[in-house]
Structures are given as C-alpha cells and as structure tokens.
Structure 1
Amino acid sequence: MATKQEKSFCLLEYARCSSVITVQRAFKREYGKEPPCKQSILRWYRQFKGTGCLCKRKSTDRPNVPYETVKSVRESFVRSPQKSTVRASRELGLPQQTVWTNLRRRLHFKPYRLQLLQQINPEDYGRRLEFCVTMQEAVEDEDFAAKLIFSNEAIFHLSGKVNHHNVRLWGTENPRAIVALERYSRKLNVFSAMSQTKLYGPFFFCEKTVTGNLT
C-alpha cells in the first residue's frame, strides 16, 4: 500500500509528464521498489483533480431513519429500561438491528448490567470468617479436591419472573439501580451439582428451599 508521500510523488510526476510509464520508472529510481499500477496512479490523479486531496474520506452516508422511529425506540426503553432489544423489536415491528443501532448510535444508550447480590447481615461476618479458616485447613489435604461438589440452583417464580444473572438496564448513564427480587413467592427450584467424577440432577423442588420434596 502506497504512503501519502509516494502518492504525492506519483501525482507530481504525472502532472509534469502525463505518462504513466515515465511515472513508474521515476518511482522505481526514487524508492527502489516496484511502482504502483497504472490504475492506481490514474485514480489518485482523478481524485486529486476532483477533491483537491489524496486522503480517504470517511463515508458520512447514513440510512435516513425517520424521527418517529427514533422517538418510538426511545420512549419504549424509557418506559421499560430492562427490556431486551428482541422484545422491543417485536413490539415496535422493527428489525432488531434497527433497534440496537438507534439505541447505541443515535440515542447513546448503554446496557448497564445489574449485579445480583445477597444482603449481608451482621451475624454473617463471623460465619464467613469461620468458613475461610475451615477451608484453609481443608485444602492442605491432597484428596480434598476429589471430595468437592459444586452446586447451583435456578428459581422460577409462578408469577413468570425468572431469577437470572443477565439483567440489563438501558440508559444514557449508570442508573445505580437496586432491584428487589421475589424470594418468598410461590416458585419452583431447579437444582444440579457436579463433582470430580459425576453429575447430579437436575432435581426439581416445589418448596422455598432445596430441602423440600422432589417432583
């Protein structure tokens, strides 16, 4: 790819002699490498005559999106900032890419991720310290890793609310929001676990905790 200096050299030589072959010979003598092709030299010359510049210009052409479309996308996410672009696409009758482009490039909205945390009570600090001390002693056992079982659960509320970890809030700035989760409504727990050699579950529980009856 030719540098700006090399393009300028070709342009000046061609303006002087109007011969591509002469330009190529002069280029090879000057820079000691293969010259640009005929098409490139002529293109640079035409570009300079037409625009007065050899620089590549960034395209400013953008799809002409109606104001009503941008407005409808904004109003939709102002009403419900937790809404996904897929859902907004269905509600507004617009392609998902159009919704996303309007949010990010025209409205300058960003998806802020909510971190789901558990409230810490005063009595929890002592329990956490005790757990850390116990674990530090346990890891000294070479067979300890083989005894570990990692588990997790997902909670599905009968109201339709799902306890998930990919909540997003769309906005122009971080909302610093706090979302209260339903912890004691009627729900179904799905539990599974994994050890070094085995998978457990999934198990389904209808009670508030995984100590309830299996279904």
Structure 2
Amino acid sequence: MIIVQRKVQCVLWLAKFESVTLVRREYRRVFNEEPPHENNIRRWDKQLRETGSLLKQSRPGRPSVSDDTIEAVWASYLCSPKKSVRKCSVELGVSKTTVHNVLKKRLRFTGTASKNSQPKHIHPRNGNCHVCQNIG
C-alpha cells in the first residue's frame, strides 16, 4: 500500500506535467520502484479535488463493538457464569443483542452455564477473581 506522502507527490506531479505517463516515469525515477497504476493516480487527483484530502473517508454502517465492552461482558460472566443476558445487559448498560453477540461470536461461549464458560483456575469462590471485585 502506498503512503499518503507519495500519493500527494503523484497528484502534484500530475498538476505539473498534466500527463499520467510522465508522472509514472518520474515516480519510477525518484522512488526507484514500480509506480502506481494510472487509474489510481487519476482517482487520487479526483479525490483531492472533490474532498480536499487524500485520507480514507469514514464509511457508513454500524460501528463495531469496543474492546472495553467485550472485556466488560467477559468479566461479568467470569464472575457469574449463570447470569442471564438480560441481567448482564442492564448491569453494563448495553443492549441484550450486543451482549448475546459478544458471548456467541466474540467469546464463543456455548452457553451461560456450560463447562467452558470460564477457566477452571479462575473461580470467584477461590478468591482469585479480582475482576469480580472491580465490577459492581
């Protein structure tokens, strides 16, 4: 992937030379590597003219779940593996769907009370579940 400074340089050369072929020759001469395709150089020029930037634009769509939320769900179920999704969502202030998806897709819990729901060496009754004391 080409860095932004080189994209800017290509656009500046395009303004100067007014030829993509000359831009590619100059790129090869200066950087001693294969130049970007001519379509990319034209696209960068168009993007700079339309948006004023060559940085990637944020895309629409649902935002991903933060690492903090994933850790909070994990810690909550580590301390109380039989807790319901509804109770966890109320405690953490996130939707039930988010808690469910984190458990199933991110943490790969097979069930809230399953054998694999927490590591055997960490258990709240053993006194070594420090995460439990920080929640609540």
CA distance 1:15–1:116, change in 2 (3 Å): closer
Task: Check 1:50–1:167 CA distance in 2 against 1; reply closer, same or farther (3 A cut).
Answer: same
C-alpha displacement of 1:167: 4.7
Answer yes or no: is the 8 Å Cα contact 1:7–1:44 preserved in 2.
Answer: yes
The question of whether the paired residues in 2 share the 8 Å contact of 1:113 and 1:167 is answered with no
Q: CA deviation at 1:115?
A: 3.4
Q: Residue in 2 aligned with 1:7?
A: 7
Q: How does 1:55-66 map to 2 (within 5 A)?
A: 55-62=55-62
Please say if 1:51 is aligned against 2:51.
yes
Match of 1:113 among 77, 84, 91: 77
Post-superposition CA distance 1:28-84 (Å, at most 9, x none) = 11100000001100000000000010000111445xxxxxxxxxxxxxxxxxxxxxx
Structure 1 length normalisation: TM-score? 0.34
Which ranges of structure 2 fall in alignment gaps of 5 or more residues? Answer: 94-136
Structure 1 runs, 4 residues or longer, greater than 2 Å off: 108-112, 114-117, 165-175
What are the Cα deviations for residues 65-112 of structure 1, in whole angstroms up to 9, with x where unaligned?
A: xxxxxxxxxxxxxxxxxxxxxxxxxxxxxxxxxxxx9xx68xx79643
Q: Which gives a bigger RCO, structure 1 or 2 (Cα 8 Å, sep 6+)?
A: 2
State the one-letter code of the partner of 1:26.
E
Contact 1:24 1:36 in 2 (8 A): yes
* Counterpart for residue 21 of structure 1: 21
Q: Tell me how far 1:16 sits from its aligned partner.
A: 1.0
Counterpart CA distance in 2 for 1:27 and 1:115 is: 58
Alignment length, in residue pairs? Answer: 86
Q: How big is each residue's C-alpha offset from its partner over 1:149-189, in whole Å with a ceiling of 9 and x where there is no partner?
A: xxxxxxxxxxxxxxxx57543236459xxxxxxxxxxxxxx
Richer in strand (by share): 1
Gaps of 5+ in 1: 63-100, 118-164, 176-215
d(CA) in 2 for partners of 1:60, 1:113: 32
Aligned-CA RMSD value = 3.3
Q: Relative to 1, partners in 2 of residues 1:46 and 1:174: Cα closer, same or farther, differing over 3 Å?
A: closer
- Which amino acid in 1 is paired with 2:77? R
Q: Which has the higher helix share?
A: 2
How many percent of aligned residue pairs carry the same amino acid? 29
Cα offset for 1:18? 1.2
